[in-house]
Structure 1
Amino acid sequence: MCVSRALSLLLLAATLAGCATTALPVKKKGPDPMHVAMYGPHPDERFPLPAMDISRVNPKYFRQQVAYQTMEPAGTIVIDTQNRFLYLVQGEGMAMRYGIGVGKAGLEFEGTARIGRKAEWPRWTPTQNMIEREPERNLKWAGGMEPGLTNPLGPRALYLHKDGKDTLFRIHGTSEPWSIGKAVSSGCVRLFNQDIIDLYSRVPAGSRVVVLQHQTPMGETTPMAANQTTPMAGGDGLIPPAAI
């Protein structure tokens, strides 16, 4: 009787053990593989560009195609400085959207302009005001800084002209990806290095640019108007304002 009871208890214990599940360790969610690829290295550049650390970047600032309504024709760049987005109008209600960081110089221009010049791996020269304000930082670059990975303009720059004159407003890359989405102490409009390369390849010289300082673009009433966004492959900081 005791033996039978013991066997029954053992069988019950075995059955319960078989039904139990072992908790598996929860894997920490990492960056989206599509974003990792999008912001990967560019080894064939004049100065091989390393992959970008996207771990501290809000995903809403990654390059993506969005639904976008505007009266501007396809090919127009619309810069929404307030919400920190740059739109490349594609037509048919769509646009490519890029996250941006906006510096002091980027907040001083409003209206329309044209891309007067494009440059790959541009030189950077601080303005006289910059040198006077921070001589210890900028005087050594009075003759210009050679292109490279530490150059404040990054791998590409678009120079905005209006009525045939240089506005000193630039759209360029940055060596500080964490600054995208923020108002920075100086500079114009900066994009991730991989994004300025992408934008540069899509727009020819002469393209129309609309810079909005206080208006909200027609297509998005909030910074993340659309929850229907499609990723597309393809802390304030200090950088000097973009100059020639």
Structure 2
Amino acid sequence: MKRAVGAVLVAAFLALPGQGAAGAPTAPASPCGCEPVRVLQVATPPVRGSDVAGLQQRLVKLGFYDGPISGVYDRETAGAVARLQEFLGLTRSGVVDNRTWETLAFYEAKPAVKSPPPEGKISILVDIDAQTLIVYTDGEPYKLYPVAVGKASSPTPMGEWVITEKIAGWHGATGVRWMRLSNPWGSYGIHGTNNPGSIGQMVSAGCVRMFNHDVIELYDWIEIGTQVTLKGRGPYGPVRPLIDQGAVGQDVVFLQWRLRELGFDPGRADGVCGEATQSALAAWQRYRGLPVTGKADRNVLYLLGLW
């Protein structure tokens, strides 16, 4: 019965557009800067890494492996993969190729408790420090999800974004769903994962990762244009000595938030020093009796507490 269920799932998967029975499909290009998914197989020297350890943990959870979580792709791990492939109706190769990664991700994408869709206007807040995504409906918290966020060398961009693109389907490291954010200096989004063990950690290339069953639920709720705020304690990071018209970056977001705190509305904190931000800055300069330039040089940034 267990094997039959796996075969039925794979048959449904193969019926999806772009899938075929002959050969493993080529992994679609990732829409962001996430690390590509590796093919795992027995080799000399052995294939090692956190992705191998994560796979071993998943195999243990599914009941196909009872060996050590060594992070080494050895023959014992390959044997467990072959048993998993047979269960899923795939060719028993012991090699974790793109089709195996993809089919495993869809098999695991089963919600524990499915929530009804929110009835009001949806917005999203990601608490970067708490690795938590909060769905709001009409300004009230509706549901919380654990997430993974950017590591220190590739931080998740703070700011007030909107969803500009939605893509369903498998894209390797981004899992089974992708929702692009309107960040102007990089390709960032909310997406699924090929490594469920990473959720709750600061390990990504800057994107917000979710469990695949969670991201499927969220994907179905939100629309293009949904507001997404990403906030954390910082640190602020480097601030350029002059923020002028057209400047783009994380420091512009901090300037926009600071102006709003002081009562001068720069509009949405979108990381772009546009007309609204310059007008708010000029109004603050006028209030402080400073030369009204609409530009933030070192002196202005110092007075704002950003330098």
- TM-score normalised over the length of structure 2: 0.37
More helix by percentage: 2
* Higher relative contact order, chain-length normalized (CA < 8 Å, sep 6+): 1
- Scaled by the length of structure 1, the TM-score of the pair is 0.46
Higher strand share: 1
